[in-house]
Structure 1
Amino acid sequence: MLPPLDPEMFDPLCPSGLMPMRIGDKWAALIIRCLEQGPRRFSELRVPLRGISAKVLTASLRALERDGLVSRTVVAGPAQHVEYGLTALGRSMIEPIDAICAWAEEHWDELLDARESGARPS
């Protein structure tokens, strides 16, 4: 059994929200991060992704599944449930996401300054 996901995993003050690059949709990289340690149930994903609606999480998971990054498994038993996990292709995204996160941390102050000043691209 995996430990529960940290509810503060994607704290609004964390650089994850400042990443200017998106993989798939706004939530894809964050979902991949949540699945990094192993398969999770839908309700587990909602804990750190507290800003996402059930409808949008469902759509994002379906898109990631369609793209071959996430697998959906129905787990039989007395309390049948569904788990989402990374495929080998999905796992291959962890290293690029790590690099993007490191870049965002390195440029945290610059990103904040640009957003606060309302800078517009030229």
Structure 2
Amino acid sequence: MVGRKTYELMPKDEFQKECQYYIFTHSKIDLKAPNIKATNEDPATFVKKLKNKNINQIMIAGGSQLNTAFLKANFIDEIYLDIEPYLLGKGIPLFQPIDTECELKLLSKKVENSTIQLHYKVIK
């Protein structure tokens, strides 16, 4: 799952041929490869369709809008958070403001080439 804004920033060669990609958008977009499809459905409707196809694991690589929509729908079980060795003057938040708190449990941490990856389980 990729949000439209994230999709537009991704180079075409970053999309793996063996994976199916779904872009969440309300706009008409240019699809970069045959394994990329666009949808304007809400997360609950879309996830229900995937479950009917026996797809039970999905990865979200979106911005704050898509991440928040899936979090509010209670569809996020795990979060991988990469901390890169760069300081930005400003950036895009991981989530939009929400009315609830979300407890996380650290499952693992990994350091590779100055990048730290934290793997969390969402406590429900």
Q: Same fold (TM over 0.5)?
A: no
TM-score range, shorter chain: under 0.3
Higher relative contact order by CA 8 Å / sep ≥ 6: 1 or 2?
A: 1
TM-score, normalised relative to structure 2:
0.27
TM-score, normalised relative to structure 1:
0.27
